[in-house]
Structures are given as C-alpha cells and as structure tokens.
Amino acid sequence: MIEEDSDGFLFHIVYHNGVDYIPIHNGDVVAADLPNLIKRAERLKKMGTHATFRFKKEKCSSEGLYWRCYQGKPVEVGSSDVLLAGFAMGRLESNYNGFKWVSTETFLFLDFKEENLTLTQSYPEGSCRSR
C-alpha cells in the first residue's frame, strides 16, 4: 500500500496471516537451497507483520497502476536490520496451454549490510488498484 503525504510516499507491507506466511521466495527450489531459505526466512520474519518505508517523491515514478520506487528508508521494521528498500510492479500476461490470464507482479528489494534480497509476489488482475 502506498500513501502520499507532504514528505513523499509511505510504503506499507502487511502480512495478514503472520510472519510464517511471508512469501520469502518465488521460483524453483532444490533440496540444497533449504538451509539458505531457512536463514532468509529468519531474517525476513524480524520485520514483523507490518513494515513501513518512506520514499522521497523524486525516488518514485508511476505509470497508472504500476509504481517504481527506490532508496526507501525504514520507518517501522520491527527488529530487522534492513537498510534500504526498493519496489517495482509490472503487468504479466500468461498463457497456460490456451488458458490466459493477467497478473500484477511485484518486486520488493531489501538491502541489508551484507546481502540484498528480492521478494516477488504475484497478484491476480483486479487485486491491485489506484485509489
């Protein structure tokens, strides 16, 4: 959720079902990935169920529904040591053996001192709206 105020944009992330349901990875997984994914999960769970970042106005751009923001400073991130955040959205059209649908793909980029993480989440058409 993106809110505008006099200082720029506030970007909220809410995990409605708790931190055990944070989408920590999207893609192929092999058994050898599990230890790293568990570490990643522990790191991300520290953000809590509601995290907020602030982006300056000049650090964001939008084309209709689709936003891109970078260098967001943490406002409320629980006990996480995240330093910066970025965010991007895009439209994706899929055709699965003749069955077609449209989705909005979101990318949350989180910079930590020693690593950068990207969290992707796919939303069905209609789930993302401009207010």
Partner 1 sequence: MKLLNGLSLFLIAMVCTLSAASAQAGPQSTATLMSCMTNPPTTSYQMLAVEDGFELHVFHHNGTKYMPIHSGTITPNDFELLKKRADYLQQMGSSAKIFFKTSECKNEGPVWKCFSKRSLKLRDLQAEGVSFHMVPRQTSTNNYTFHSMDTFLSFRQKEGHIQYDITSSYSFDKRDCIER
**Interface with partner 1 (CB under 8 A):** 19-32, 34, 37-38, 41, 45, 90-97, 120-122
Distances in whole angstroms, Cα of residue 46 to Cα of each of 43, 58, 78, 91, 116: 6, 29, 6, 30, 15
Residue closer to partner 1, measured from CB, 28 or 58:
28
Name the minimum Å distance from CB 89 to partner 1: 11
Name the minimum Å distance from CB 18 to partner 1: 9
Q: How far apart are CA 121 and CA 127, in angstroms?
A: 12
Q: Coil, strand or helix: which one is 75? A: strand
Residue closer to partner 1, measured from CB, 45 or 54:
45
Name the minimum Å distance from CB 77 to partner 1: 17
Paired residues of 10 in beta bridges: 3, 54
